[in-house]
């Protein structure tokens, strides 16, 4: 009741004031008829508040965000499904969904005729030019009586997540080089004795096709064994992004870090679509929760893009090299680098020695603050990297194509036909 009285609208408070005034005037003037009118006017908002305060609305909300993963600049549709599972009718529902300011203004809806079994769907669009993971919700509901005398607030606690990935640029095919590395059970094995069919089997894993069961090996070992020969062979590639705060300049979406994120995302998508098994490594090291991402049925490299969507500046001044183990040896390395310091040279040399081929996009970070200076191209070329410089006004696809024409010595060879591995 106390909550309901606190929810009296201006109209409800005006009714109470008018009722009290009428009763007082009736007593002073000796008009019994006016007393009855005053009591009626005074009782109407109080009874409404009592009924509304004791009512238990069973409103159910289902929020759907489609698609839950979008690129920056694209729209997503939020659908709200509301239903009244209680038996108490209501006059008007005032809905407001809370969204971060980067997704737009807060949507508001007014719904009427809410009764038992009532169901309604409303939808609105959200759009963000900034990458990140955002929570949509919670929904607040203001319930009003049919007379507009009392208005109570309710809130849902559920939220939905919308992930906005960085923009990507379509990159032209270039000669990448590098060695092929098998993934998982694809590593080459020597046939010491027996037939190849006996060697190329493994234990049965849940979900394997039963048609691949190798019964002779299963009978010999006493456990289900399946054939390996149908497993594909993949080239491996590592996309490294230097996200240290000391290596970048600028603020917000106009910073060099955001350009580095767009470049890393574009390279990851490009390599995935070309059949590479790709992993993402940052200045803090490899995310162990993210395995090598193969194309399969997902040409957009969604897991890699989700990791880049929430990538922030790393405060450590030095690069982590723990990921340079046996699992990272061989294959292709594409590094997107910011400002390179002298103490980074041994790390870059070690990165190069662990990979079959190394390419680098070096950002001219000083150009982001209006002071173009020498980029890290010379240092990287001396280490043996194939490197191209990327500035704030450069086209990424053009620099990527130039990178394919740069030899390992840093010189541009004579034009040759580009071969896609």
Q: Residue 410 domain-assigned?
A: no
* Domain boundaries, position 75: 59-165
Q: What contacts 24+ positions apart, CB below 8 Å, involve 6-9?
A: 7/49, 7/52, 7/150, 7/151, 7/152, 7/153, 8/45, 8/49, 8/149, 8/150, 8/151, 9/144, 9/148, 9/149, 9/150, 9/151
As beta bridge partners, residue 386 has 359
Least confident of 89-93, 215-219, 268-272: 89-93
Q: Residue 415 domain-assigned?
A: no
Q: Which one is predicted more confidently, 299 or 258?
A: 258
- Which letter, b or e, does each residue of 378-415 get, where b requires 16 or more Cβ atoms within 10 Å of its Cβ? ebbbebebbbbbbbbebebeebbbebbbbebebeeeee
pLDDT exceeds 60 at position 2: yes
Angle between helices 302-309 and 256-273 (to 10 degrees): 170
- CATH number assigned to the domain comprising residue 112: 2.60.40.10
pLDDT exceeds 70 at position 364: yes
DSSP-based three-state secondary structure for 113? strand
Q: Which one is predicted more confidently, 144 or 67?
A: 67
Residues 243 and 348 both lie in one domain: yes
Residues 362 and 239 both lie in one domain: yes
Q: Residue 290 domain-assigned?
A: yes
Return the pLDDT at 331: 81
Residues 48 and 127 both lie in one domain: no
Whether omega before 138 lies within 30 degrees of 0, making that bond cis, reads yes
Residues 208 and 276 both lie in one domain: no
Return the pLDDT at 232: 45
Q: Residue 414 domain-assigned?
A: no
Residues 200 and 249 both lie in one domain: no
371-405 pLDDT, tens digit each: 766 556 777 877 788 899 999 999 999 999 998 88
Return the pLDDT at 286: 80
Residues 102 and 117 both lie in one domain: yes
Count of structural domains, the chain: 4
Return the pLDDT at 188: 39
Return the pLDDT at 325: 66
CA distance 41 to 24: 13
Q: What is the DSSP string of 22-68?
A: HHHHHHHHT-HHHHHHHHHHHHHHHHHHHHHHH----EEEEEEEESS
Return the pLDDT at 88: 64
Q: Residue 356 domain-assigned?
A: yes
Q: Residue 413 domain-assigned?
A: no
pLDDT exceeds 50 at position 64: yes
Average pLDDT value for residue range 193-204: 57
Q: Residue 90 domain-assigned?
A: yes
Among candidate residues 202, 227, 252, the one where a domain is terminated: 227
pLDDT exceeds 60 at position 234: no
CA distance 102 to 100: 5
Residues 244 and 374 both lie in one domain: yes
CA distance 296 to 302: 12
Residues 68 and 160 both lie in one domain: yes
Q: Which one is predicted more confidently, 29 or 154?
A: 29
Residues 94 and 210 both lie in one domain: no
Among candidate residues 14, 32, 54, the one where a domain is terminated: 54
Residues 291 and 151 both lie in one domain: no
Residues 326 and 222 both lie in one domain: no
Phi, psi dihedrals of residue 78, rounded to the nearest 5°: -105, 120
Least confident of 87-101, 179-193, 285-299: 179-193
Return the pLDDT at 294: 55
Q: Which one is predicted more confidently, 293 or 162?
A: 162
Q: Which one is predicted more confidently, 190 or 299?
A: 299
Q: Residue 191 domain-assigned?
A: yes
Choose from 87-96, 139-148, 307-316 the range with maximum mean pLDDT.
307-316
CA distances in angstroms from 239 to 36, 51, 337, 361, listed in the order given: 82, 63, 11, 11
Whether omega before 67 lies within 30 degrees of 0, making that bond cis, reads yes
Q: Which one is predicted more confidently, 93 or 194?
A: 93
Residues 106 and 188 both lie in one domain: no
pLDDT exceeds 50 at position 93: yes
Return the pLDDT at 335: 95
């Amino acid at each position: 009741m106390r909550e309901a009285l606190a929810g009296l609208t201006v109209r409800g408070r005006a009714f109470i004031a008018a009722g009290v005034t009428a009763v007082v005037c009736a007593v002073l003037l000796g008009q019994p008829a006016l007393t009855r009118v005053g009591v009626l006017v005074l009782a109407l908002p109080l009874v409404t508040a009592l009924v509304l305060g004791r009512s238990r609305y069973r409103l159910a909300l289902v929020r759907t965000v489609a698609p839950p993963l979008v690129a920056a600049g694209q729209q997503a549709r939020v659908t709200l499904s509301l239903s009244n599972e209680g038996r108490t009718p209501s006059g008007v529902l005032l809905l407001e969904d809370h969204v971060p300011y980067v997704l737009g203004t807060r949507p508001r809806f007014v719904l009427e005729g809410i009764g038992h079994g009532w169901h309604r769907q409303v939808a609105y669009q959200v759009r963000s030019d900034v990458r990140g993971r955002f929570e949509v919700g919670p929904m607040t509901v203001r319930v009003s009586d049919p007379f507009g005398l009392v208005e109570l607030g309710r809130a849902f606690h559920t939220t939905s997540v919308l992930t906005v990935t960085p923009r990507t640029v379509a990159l032209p095919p270039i000669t990448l080089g590098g060695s092929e590395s098998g993934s998982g059970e694809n590593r080459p094995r020597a046939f010491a004795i027996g037939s190849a069919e006996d060697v190329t089997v493994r234990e049965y894993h849940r979900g394997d096709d039963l048609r691949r069961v190798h019964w002779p090996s299963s009978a010999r070992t006493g456990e289900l064994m399946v054939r390996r020969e149908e497993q594909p062979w993949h080239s491996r590639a590592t996309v490294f992004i230097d996200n240290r705060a000391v290596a970048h300049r600028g603020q917000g979406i106009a910073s060099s870090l955001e350009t580095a994120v767009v470049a890393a995302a574009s390279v990851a998508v490009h390599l995935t679509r070309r059949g590479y098994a790709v992993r993402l490594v940052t200045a803090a090291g490899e995310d162990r929760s993210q395995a090598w991402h193969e194309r399969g049925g997902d040409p957009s490299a969604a897991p890699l893009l989700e990791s880049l969507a929430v990538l922030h500046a790393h405060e450590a001044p030095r690069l982590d090299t723990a990921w340079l183990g046996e699992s990272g040896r061989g294959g292709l390395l594409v590094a997107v680098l910011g400002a390179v310091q002298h103490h980074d040279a041994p790390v870059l040399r070690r990165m190069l020695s662990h990979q079959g081929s190394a390419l680098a996009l070096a950002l001219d970070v000083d150009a982001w603050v209006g002071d173009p200076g020498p980029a890290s191209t010379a240092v990287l070329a001396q280490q043996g990297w194939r490197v191209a410089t990327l500035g704030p006004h450069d086209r990424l696809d053009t620099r990527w194509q130039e990178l394919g024409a740069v030899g390992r010595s840093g010189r541009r060879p004579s034009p040759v036909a580009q071969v896609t591995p």
